[in-house]
Structure 1
Amino acid sequence: MSLALHQEQFITLKNGDTFCYAEHGNDTQGTILLIAGLGLQLVYWPSALIERLVTSGYRVICFDNRDAGRSVRSTTPHPSLLQQLRGKAPNGAYGLERMAEDTAQLLEGLNINSAHVVGMSMGGMIAQTLASIYPDVVDSMTSIFSTTGSRKVGQPSYSTLWRIARAKAPKSESDAIINYRAMMTHIGDINAEGAISQWQQYAKLAWHRNGSKSDSKAVFRQIGAIMKSGDRTRLLNKVSAPTLVIHGDVDRMVHPSGGVATANAISGAKHQVLRGLRHQIDTIQSHRIADSILGHIKLHTGHKHEA
């Protein structure tokens, strides 16, 4: 199991911020945009997933969100640990709406009129917000182990929260690898073929792409964006793009109730529960998820958004 290799590029958007992105394949069937989760970088995506989408004729684009990897760092306030516990973002924090705007401007900057949008975890929240506010740029949406923002659903298990609270910022590459492996051992599937190797590979890449340092404030700003946007259930009622909601039945990071709530909030959404799927996309899950995405896109090819 391995991560995809990327030829990284940079683009400055209309808002003046610079983002790092990579693209794969040729646009014979359309474009699929992958949006990563909280604190994750574009190098997170497994090669098996991207290769499966590319060999099906799609141009695949992945990028570093704001405050991740090699993309822009914001200067806005980040929530303190106490504010995070209270679920309250500080004044001046940006929301998921800003991250959706980034995504829309990225597509515009790459001269892509619309794309099939796939987001995992926080990336699913960004995809949902994008589809709600910028419906014309979303041909279809796939939301993977994500949630609506309601505090009644999709919450991490207590054991996960305990590990997050005890985590210390890494001071070296070795620390970064150990920390990531410890968290993924809890929320991922250590028995998946090549899982440990993939975790170590990702943690090493992410550490160096982040300037060989910890950047917890950047992750906190992303957490603040989730908290500021709050419960997006009503916003999701506006989604007109064909939507597939994928969730596992053993997710300790985002409880499966988050997937149920997301599907219920979006008219016509299909909810698919993948047995054994944790909060991890490994080689086996890459094939399962890619097949689901491709089937969803094929089913709704030619779909026109409602006026």
Structure 2
Amino acid sequence: MGMVMANGLDLSYDAFGAAEDPALLLVSGLGTQRIRWGDGFCAALAGRGYHVIRYDNRDAGLSTHLHGAPVPDLGAVIAALRAGRAPEIPYGLGDMAADAVALLDALAIPRAHVVGRSMGGMIAQVLACEHPGRVRSLTSVMSGTGNPDLPQAAPDVMALMSAPRPDPALDPEGYVAASLAFARRIAGTGAPFDAAHHRWLVLEEARRGHDPAGAARQLAAMVATGDRRARLAGITVPTLVIHGTDDPLIPPACGADTAAAIPGAGLMLVEGMGHDLPAALDERIVSAIDRTARRAA
């Protein structure tokens, strides 16, 4: 594990594989941490010849948490966007993409293959738009474009995601139960749900840095970015969009929209995959990322 000062923040990261191999940066999703990119997944990518770097976004895990920053009113953010005004938020996805660039700078990496999941896919998209010289290839996983006309998450999924959960320090079993209920709901049908792994994962994330306010700031950044399709049209690096057919949080139409917005992008719909990456899919997803990265050569 390492820690670097990047973009005025402490960013915590770790790496797999040989430093002389081409860099591959993994960007995490909303309110989650780098450990969601499992060790086996990272090792498999390193085995394909990549120097794999995963890191905690700002306001997550062991990276800097902006405890002094306000928690935006999501309704006010949406109202501002509808009125054509810039919403008041502590930071945006552009700032989070700049964090990734600063991390690469600190590690003396000029360019990297970039893979992002969920909100991390949106950060990766913004990174490819705003810092095109730093991205060798782009893989956007279970993400979207911000197109307001696309299907939204199922209402019960939104209810589970937004419902307050017990404090894990005071009621760890209640916290696990609420977290597992959400994880089960967004999981796909293509692989058995691994309750033991998810239990470990949510408790480990809670131990490393439980921060609902930080997740709320990240959500505001994601919502405030708005429709990115016009900017995505300028991406020229090899791009792959991966999306599960069973995703109830960011429906598969959002993945198709992402692929349609980026010239030459491939679309890989994974039958039975939900809004998660079960270990059973590691080989298939790793192979697809590898094929996309090799197109950049």
- TM-score by structure 2 length? 0.91
Residue in 2 that maps onto 1:16: 8
Secondary structure class of the residue paired with 1:116: strand
Partner SS, residue 247 of structure 1? strand
Contact kept in structure 1, 2:188 and 2:247, CA below 8 Å: no
Report how far residue 57 of structure 1 moved. 1.5
Q: Which residue of 2 aligns with 1:159?
A: 156
State the distance in 2 between where 1:132 and 1:154 align.
Answer: 24
Give the deviation of 1:174 after TM superposition: 2.6
Distance 1:142-1:136 versus aligned 2 partners, 3 A rule: same
Number of residue pairs the alignment of both structures matches:
290
Aligned to 1:180: 179
The yes-or-no answer on 1:130 pairing with 2:133 is no
Q: Unaligned stretches of 5+ in structure 1?
A: 1-7, 303-307
RMSD of the alignment, in Å? 2.0
Q: Distance in 2 between matches of 1:131 and 1:34?
A: 14
SS in 2 for 1:11: strand
Quote the residue 2:71 is aligned against: 78
1:3 — aligned with what? Answer: none
Aligned-residue offset at 1:150? 1.6
Q: Could you state the TM-score of these two structures normalised by the residue count of structure 1? A: 0.89
Mapped to 1, the partners of 2:271 and 2:190 lie a distance apart of 15
Q: Mean Cα displacement is larger for which, 131-140 or 171-180? A: 171-180
Q: Which AA in structure 2 matches 1:76?
A: A
User: 1:76–1:94: 8 Å Cα contact kept in structure 2?
Assistant: no
- 1:254 matches 2:250: yes
Gaps in structure 2 of 5+ consecutive residues: none
Give me the whole-angstrom Cα distance separating, in 1, the residues matched to 2:190 and 2:268.
23
Deviations 1:71-126 (A, max 9, x none): 11224332235447758685143110000000011001100010100000000000
User: Mapping of 1:55-204 within 5 angstroms?
Assistant: 55-74=47-66, 75-80=68-73, 82-83=75-76, 90-153=87-150, 155-172=152-169, 173-189=172-188, 192-193=191-192, 195-204=194-203
Q: Do the aligned residues in 2 keep the contact of 1:22 with 1:61 (CA within 8 Å)?
A: yes
Percent identity for Structure 1 against Structure 2: 33
Task: Report the equivalent of 1:282.
Answer: 278
Amino acid at match of 2:125: Q
Paired residue secondary structure (2:288) = helix
How far 1:239 sits from its partner (Å)? 1.1
